[in-house]
Chains A and B, each alone.
Chain A
Amino acid sequence: AQTVTQSQPEMSVQEAETVTLSCTYDTSESNYYLFWYKQPPSRQMILVIRQEAYKQQNATENRFSVNFQKAAKSFSLKISDSQLGDTAMYFCAFMKHGSGNTPLVFGKGTRLSVIA
């Protein structure tokens, strides 16, 4: 079974600074997807970024980028130029690819606070 570990329960960052959230996962699969979801106080789950394991290039979405290290099974999220609206819970998630795939497996989350 796949597991996802987020070792930082809480983090804080000053507005306009950069912060990196850690995520590691355990799997024997070679083909899979990794995700970061954001959950603000409204509790809506919002997709931040997605990475295909077969792609070597790290995914980026505006101020959000990932550092995907397949061999180390590490998938960290970097938020640049942090904004107050980035305050939220961030969940790392894993999905196996292919027929008979299992749906998302989530980590426990990291609570990020952006401080003015």
Chain B
Amino acid sequence: DAGVIQSPRHEVTEMGQEVTLRCKPISGHNSLFWYRQTMMRGLELLIYFNNNVPIDDSGMPEDRFSAKMPNASFSTLKIQPSEPRDSAVYFCASSLRPEETQYFGPGTRLLVL
């Protein structure tokens, strides 16, 4: 199995631009999670999906952030407009079910100038 795939691995953009992060979960996994990692706040859950349905988005910072999962094999996390404080590493993880072990992708390192 290829594991969780994220793209891009690195993204540098200017403040105000739209950023789209992509994730392909492990085949057969029904739950997908988006996390953000910063030095100040550590690892935070942003949102998670079960069977393509958003279950808990209470971690999404504000309306500038949105996430979609149009099918079982693809999810996006969009930031519009981006701000320097959004600079972080964004991880996608998947699991068979929400209570099962989560497997992480390699992360996307985002830098907003």
Q: Could you tell me if A101 and B98 are in contact, using CB atoms closer than 8 angstroms?
A: yes
B42 surroundings in chain A (CB, below 8 A) = 106-109
Give bound CA distance, A50 to B95, whole Å. Answer: 14
- Tally of contacts, chain A with chain B, CB under 8 A: 42
Residues 23 to 44 of chain B near chain A (Cβ within 8 Å) = 33, 42-43
Task: Select one of A42, A98, A102, A104 contacting B102, CB under 8 A.
Answer: A104
Closest residue to B44 on the A side, CB-wise? A106
> Number of contacting residues on B, CB 8 A?
18
Give bound CA distance, A37 to B33, whole Å. Answer: 16
Interface membership of B56, Cβ < 8 A: yes
Interface membership of A95, Cβ < 8 A: yes
Q: Which A residues are closer than 8 A to B by beta carbons?
A: 33, 35, 37, 42-47, 50, 91, 95, 97-98, 101-104, 106-109
Q: Which B residues are closer than 8 A to A by beta carbons?
A: 33, 42-43, 45, 48, 56, 89, 91, 93, 98-99, 101-104, 106-107, 109
